[in-house]
Every structure is written in C-alpha cells, then in structure tokens.
Structure 1
Amino acid sequence: MNTERKPNNRGNLQNKSKEKSKLRRITATSSRWLHIYLSMISFAVLLFFAVTGLTLNHPDWFADQQSTNEIKGNLNVNWVNNIDTSKISKLEIVEHLRNKEKIKGALSEFRITEYECSVSFKGPGYSADAYISREDGVYSITEIKSGFVAVLNDLHKGRDSGKNWAVLIDISAIMMTLVSLSGLILILFIKKKRTNGLLIAVVGAILCYIIYKLFVP
C-alpha cells in the first residue's frame, strides 16, 4: 500500500495568494503614507516653485523694481599698485568693499589688468561691479538691485545662490518626484479610477508634447 502523500497544490496556491495580497497591501499602505507625508513636507517648496514659475514667465510685471546705485571711493593704494600682481591684496580689497560700501553677494570674479582691478559680486537678484585704478586706488562701483521678486526668481533657477541652495533644489526635486510616483502607484490600487486616471495622465503628457511640437520654435 502506497502511503506517500501527494503535494497539496491547493495549499501552495493559497499561500502564494496570501503572500501576493500581503505584498499588495504593504505597497499600497507604504505608497499612501509616503504620498501624504511627503506632500505635506514639500507643500511650501511646491508652492514656491509654482509661484516663481509664473513670475519667471512674466518678468515684465516687475521690471520697475530694479534700482541702480553708483558708488565712488578710494582704498589703500598699496593694495593694488604692486608690480607683482600675485601680491595684490585681494582679501583686503574685498573686505573693504563689503565693510565700507556694504556690498553684498558672493565674490564671482577678480580680474587684474595693467591699469585696474575689477571685482564682481553676484547674488540672487543682485550684482555689483567695482573698477579700481591701480595708480591711485580710486574706485567706482555699479550696484544693481533687482527687487524681491527677482530674488525669488533667481532662487528658483539656482542662479548665484550658492552650493547649499543647490543641494536644497536637488532635495526638493527628489521629494516632488517621489510624491508623483507614489501618487501614480496609489491610482493603480483604485480599480474604479485606475483606467481613467492613467488615461488622463497619458492624455496630459501627449498634450504637452503636441504643444511643444506645434508652438515652441
């Protein structure tokens, strides 16, 4: 008499079904949690980039906010008239302009020619260019302040805003990508809305492409 038991195929199928159902439940729960909390964390960032996207597209709305200041002065001639240009006191010159003339922004360029030194400072919505005579230390500065909205626009683009702000932009981009992907995963678990939701997403992508092909030079 053969007492060997046959494999319980029904039991194996049930176990696989339970494991699959559990994985789906964990995926749905994790995606929902990620979507909700990342959406709340990135709300301010998303709002900032949305609003500044509009202001970037219409710079003429805020053109009258720009102001230009002309500043003149003189500094220690010994800092600039050394024949050996490697011994020109760059640090002292920059600190003098910052402390006395209240120049802002990060130092972007320091050029030395036979007759003058030119120093440029850049920041979000801000620029200052100083020209210093190597003969007598007399300088002139053109300072341009473009206004609060221009500051926001430059922060949006990451222009002249430093490495730390660039890191924040990268983190924001990653967060918004995760929000989008988690939302897409969630729609896959909603049977009644899954087809329509994916269809609308595809239609939106196609419309963007059509607008690009037809209207972008």
Structure 2
Amino acid sequence: MSAASDDRAVKTGSIKAGPVKAASATIDPNRRSFWLKTLHRWHWISAAVSLVALLLFSVTGITLNHAAQIESEPVVVNVKETLPASLLRSLKREHAADAPLPGAVNDWLADALDVRTDGRKGEWSEADVYVSLPRPGGDAWLSIDRESGAIEYERTDRGWIAWLNDLHKGRNTGAAWRWFIDLFAVACLLFASTGLWLLQLHARQRGKTWPLVAAGLAVPLLLIILFMH
C-alpha cells in the first residue's frame, strides 16, 4: 500500500491509530483539573494563614543568626518595697518548697508594684521566698523576706529584637504561644506539601522543575557536609 493510500485510509477511519489513542487515554483531564483546583485552593489558604507569621519568623531567623553583631543595652529596673504586716503573717506559715505566693499577696503586688505572680512557683526557705519571673525579651525576679517583709524586685529588658527572638524560640512565652507555633508549623507543612504536589503536576511543562528542587536539597546538604564540623 502506498503512502497516499495510507493517508486516505487514516482519514476515512479504516486504519485506527491505536497506540496514540491509548497513550492519550491514560491522561484524565477532569481528574487533573480537580486536583489542580483543590491544591491551588489549599496552597493559597495555607499561604494566607501563615503569611504574617512566616515573615516574622524569617526576619527573626536573620536576627538570631546575627545576634552577636546586633548590640543591645539591657535596661535594669530595681524596686524595693515593704509588704504590709497583715499580709506578712501569711508568709510565716508553713508552705511547700515550691508553693506559689498566697492569693492576697499576689493581689497586693499587682496593685502596688504592677507585678503579676499568679501561678508562679516560689522557692521557699526559712529566710525568704523567691519567685522567678522570666519573660520574652528579658528577665525578672522577686524576693520577699519572711521576717521583715522587705521586698526586692528586679526587671531586665533587653529590647524589642530580643523580644522577637524569644517569640521565635518560644522562650518564656506561655502555652498559648507554643500552641500557635505548632499550628503555624502545620500550616507551613501544608503550604510546602501542596506546593510540591503542584510542582509535580506542572513538571511536564516546566523542565527546570526537578533540577531546581534537587538544587534546593543539594546546596544545604553540601554546606553541612563540607563546612559544618
């Protein structure tokens, strides 16, 4: 059969291009469209939810990496006061070694010194009770003499960069912030995993996709192997 007759046969349908049709049938455009829409939706939702926190953690990653070059002068505030005799009697009673301060003492400290010790464990000795009050970006402590009622309170503030760095690390931030960090990490994982899936779906049209992904893995791996000791 000549080439011309072959062409006429294909046009009239007497010869079917079986292999080509079988190859095209393996791609389900409806299924691909569904996954593209779904992944794009979750990708932008996770990006929107984590955007602000992602910017914060990116900036504080830089400040933490250059903490030695970023100088800050700590501001120390020292306050001395005397606990009223009516409240001092509650400190002279027996207490567990790590018991918190009595509620009435907590209330007085909050009103008189703007110091909040609710729920903080104390370190009780025969002479005094000491309460550690660490916080993001600084530190603080309180000591009360159990005989005289003399109070000494000291607060150290290391600046807003130190405060942001402690938010990054979750240092002395409380349970609510630590839960937020965990949820933010889940949003970032969702953002990255949907992005990777989208890369896989678009890889055929973008030949540089997997070389770039491999470079993103190889560069930090080589830095660890060659320069980290």
| TM-score normalized by the length of structure 2 | 0.78
| Residue 105 of structure 1, CA deviation | 7.7
**Deviation per residue, 1:138-193 (Å, 9 max, x gap):** 02112111211211111111111111111111111111111111111111122122
Equivalent residue number for residue 205 of structure 2: 192
Q: What does residue range 117-156 of structure 1 map to in structure 2 within 5 Å? A: 117-156=129-168
Equivalent residue number for residue 126 of structure 2: 114
* Identity between Structure 1 and Structure 2 (%): 24
2:58 is aligned with 1:50: yes
User: What amino acid maps onto 2:91 in structure 1?
Assistant: V
Higher helix share: 1
CA 1:95/1:59 → structure 2, altered by over 3 Å: closer, same or farther?
A: farther
CA 1:55/1:89 → structure 2, altered by over 3 Å: closer, same or farther?
A: closer
Equivalent residue number for residue 13 of structure 2: none
SS of 2:226 mapped into structure 1: helix
2:67 is aligned with 1:59: yes
- Taking the aligned partners of 1:140 and 1:204, their CA distance within structure 2 comes to 53
Equivalent residue number for residue 90 of structure 2: 79
User: What amino acid maps onto 1:203 in structure 2?
Assistant: A
| TM-score normalized by the length of structure 1 | 0.82
| Residue 119 of structure 1, CA deviation | 0.9
| Residue 31 of structure 1, CA deviation | 0.9
* TM-align CA RMSD: 2.7
Q: How many residues align?
A: 203
SS of 1:63 mapped into structure 2: coil
SS of 1:59 mapped into structure 2: coil
- Taking the aligned partners of 2:92 and 2:151, their CA distance within structure 1 comes to 13
**Which stretches in structure 2 are left out of the alignment for 5+ residues?**
1-17
Whether the aligned pair in 2 keeps the contact of 1:74 and 1:139 (CA below 8 Å) is yes
SS of 1:117 mapped into structure 2: strand
User: What amino acid maps onto 1:99 in structure 2?
Assistant: D
Q: Comparing 85-94 with 147-156, which one deviates more in the overlay?
A: 85-94
Alignment equivalent of 1:32, drawn from 36, 40, 47? 40
Q: Which one has a bigger Cα radius of gyration?
A: 2
Whether the aligned pair in 2 keeps the contact of 1:105 and 1:126 (CA below 8 Å) is no
- Taking the aligned partners of 2:180 and 2:211, their CA distance within structure 1 comes to 33
CA 1:109/1:57 → structure 2, altered by over 3 Å: closer, same or farther?
A: farther
Whether the aligned pair in 2 keeps the contact of 1:28 and 1:185 (CA below 8 Å) is no
**Deviation per residue, 1:40-81 (Å, 9 max, x gap):** 332111111101111112223543242111111111321322
User: What amino acid maps onto 1:69 in structure 2?
Assistant: V
Equivalent residue number for residue 10 of structure 2: none
